[in-house]
Structure 1
Amino acid sequence: MISLNIIERPNPQDRTAENKFYAQVVATGKTDLERLAYLVSNQSTVREADCYAVILSLLHNIVDELKQGRIVKLDKLGAFQLGIQSEGVATAEEVTASVVKNLRIKFRPDQRMKNQLNLKTVQFTLAE
């Protein structure tokens, strides 16, 4: 079950308009690599330490592939790709690596994951 908070926000386009109330998801904790390795090991015949090592290796290789400019597609999970924010310049000749101001990792979930997480499969409750 997903807990929701109620938050009040102003309209960014019209600060004089009445504030509106919105639902916001409340995180109920964090799951780290050790927990994922534990969960996977309990669902298979692979030991927890081996699961942990494989997940760490996967993360290392995802980063290496992203650094090579590749899209990393993990079937049934989704795709990772690098994105940048850059400064605008007047001419194409002025575009160099120095106009890059920020780097981010973009994730696009696979259709199967989207299908497993939707309004029909998730329940909500208001946080107390």
Structure 2
Amino acid sequence: MTIEFFMPMKKVPTVTHQQKQVAVQNGKPIFYEPDELKAARSKLMAHLGQYTPARKYTGPVRLMVKWCFPITGNRQDGQYKHTKPDTDNLQKMLKDCMTDCGYWKDDALVVSEIVEKFWAKLPGIYVRIEEL
């Protein structure tokens, strides 16, 4: 089974999973997500929920993701984006959201990943998942 889709977004979420915060209550650390991170997670979940496969992937998969950011400055459509955020930070939250939406049992099933960032006239996130 292979699925692919594009989620157009005027503003691609750039907050990352690493931006969780910690507070101390009664001498114990409590981890929480700041509002900006919660909003980004909700946005991804809403978009991803539209494409959840009928059945979860249960074996190894290849995940291809193309992050398309709105063009700024003198950038060209399709030009690689070599500035922050880092692809590994972007991917972590995306894969967590895909797990929560039911794409697979566990994101450990992703054994091959192709991740790219671009400047684009049409911003959003392209996703392709294929069984291996």
Q: Same fold (TM over 0.5)?
A: no
Q: Which has the larger radius of gyration?
A: 1
TM-score (normalizing by structure 2): 0.25
Which protein has greater RCO, CA pairs closer than 8 Å, 6+ apart?
Answer: 2
TM-score normalized by the length of structure 1: 0.25
Higher helix fraction (1 or 2):
1
